[in-house]
Amino acid sequence: MSLQKEINYTKYGLRIKILCLGLFAYVVWDLGLGLFTLTNRPFFARGPEGLKGAPFGPLWEWYYRTHLHHFSVVLGMCYAINYPIVSLLQRKLEALTTTTKVISKGVTATALLVAF
C-alpha cells in the first residue's frame, strides 16, 4: 500500500489496490501455476525429504501454513476500508421508523439468503 500513497486517499484508489492484492493472492496460491514454488524455492535450500514435524518437506509446510490465511489480509482490509460507510448506514437505518427498519432489514436478509 506504500506505492503511490496519494491514491490511498481517493474514493476508489485503495479499493482497486486491495482488489489487485486479492487477485495476486488468488494467482499465487489458488491457480496452481507453480508461482508459489518458483518464488519460494530459493528460501528453502533443503530438499523435499521429510523433517521432524514436516514430513513433506519445509516448502510444503510453508505452503500449507501460508495457504491457510492467504485471504485474511485482503478480507481484513476490505472490512476496515468499508467500516465507516457501513457504520453510517446502520446509524441512518436505526433512525428510521420501526416499519421501515423491518422492511429494510427484511430486504437485506432476503438478498443475503438468496446470494448465499
Q: What is the pLDDT of residues 20-48, one digit of tens each?
A: 999 999 999 889 888 888 888 888 766 65
Q: What are phi and psi of 16, to 5 degrees?
A: -70, -40
Other CB atoms within a 10 A radius of the CB of residue 36 amount to 20
Residue 104 backbone zone (phi > 0: left; psi -120 to 50: alpha; other: beta): alpha
Contact 104, 96 (CB under 8 A): yes
For 37-95, how does the pLDDT look when each residue is reduced to its tens digit (9 = 90+)?
888 888 876 665 666 767 777 888 888 888 888 889 899 999 999 899 999 988 998 89
CA angle 5, 6, 10 (to 5 degrees): 120
Residues 6+ apart with CB under 8 A from 73: 21, 25
Give the chain's radius of gyration (CA, Å). Answer: 21
**pTM to 2 decimal places:** 0.67
